[in-house]
Amino acid sequence: MKKYLCRIIYEIIAIHLPKSNIKYIGKYFKIIRVFLAKNYIKYSGKNINIQKGAIFGPSLSIGDKSMVGINCVLGDKVEIGSNVMMGPQCYIYTRNHKHNKTDVPMIEQGYEEEKHVIIGNDVWIGSRVTILPGIHIGNGVIIGASSVVTHDIPDYVIAAGNPAKIVKKRIAYNL
């Protein structure tokens, strides 16, 4: 009962509260959104941030010090690691429309089975990134703004474009 009540309050009220970074009072909006989300999602780590307008389902898992950006839409089977930054207006899809029959309109074919999207630790997802169903994004990855991720991305690379391609490897510097 508590899960359903928290989800309803989140979706009716908390989703519309102002951004978390408003001087002096923004932290209270963050506290409310996070409290409600933690009580209905699968897993939430410590010190997470759920920004204004974020839409997600109860199967969301989000690790320590990670955030869901402003107006992001996440499918139901999404696992986000720790220390993940997500820009505004990202879309993470976990299912697609069926389209294999040409004699039946696509709108009448229903949906494919949901596929998990897994995002590793220490990932930076730029604004307006689209991630398609079943994708695994490795640790330490940077996804450039407005990219469309259509295939898995290995650890410690920078990927950008439509479709997203590896443009650079991240190099560790020991100072």
- Is it the case that residue 117 has pLDDT exceeding 80? yes
Is the residue at 174 inside a domain? no
> Which pLDDT score, from 0 to 100, does residue 174 have?
63
89-106 pLDDT tens trace: 999 999 999 999 999 999
Is the residue at 65 inside a domain? yes
The share of the chain scoring above pLDDT 70, in percent, equals 98
Q: Which runs of E-coded beta strand occur in the chain?
A: 43-44, 49-50, 61-62, 67-68, 73-74, 78-80, 85-86, 91-92, 117-119, 124-125, 130-131, 136-137, 142-143, 148-149, 157-160, 165-169
Is the residue at 175 inside a domain? no
**What average pLDDT does the segment 63-90 reach?**
97
Is the residue at 111 inside a domain? yes
Partners of 149 in beta bridges? 131
**What average pLDDT does the segment 166-175 reach?**
81
Q: Are the CB atoms for 145 and 125 separated by under 8 Å?
A: no
* Active-site annotation, residues: 97
Q: Which residue has the higher pLDDT, 77 or 21?
A: 77
The total domain count for the chain is: 1
19-48 pLDDT tens trace: 888 888 888 999 999 999 999 999 999 999
Domain containing residue 35: 2-169
pTM: 0.91
Q: What is the CATH number of the domain that holds 64?
A: 2.160.10.10
> Which pLDDT score, from 0 to 100, does residue 121 have?
98
> Which pLDDT score, from 0 to 100, does residue 74 have?
97
Q: Of 114, 117, 119, 69, which Cα lies nearest the Cα of 89?
A: 69
What is the arrangement of strands in the sheet containing 165-169, beginning at the earlier edge strand? 85-86, 124-125, 142-143, 157-160, 165-169
Q: Are the CB atoms for 90 and 57 separated by under 8 Å?
A: no
Is the residue at 66 inside a domain? yes
130-149 pLDDT tens trace: 999 999 999 999 999 999 99
> Which pLDDT score, from 0 to 100, does residue 175 have?
60
> Which pLDDT score, from 0 to 100, does residue 10 have?
92
Is the residue at 110 inside a domain? yes
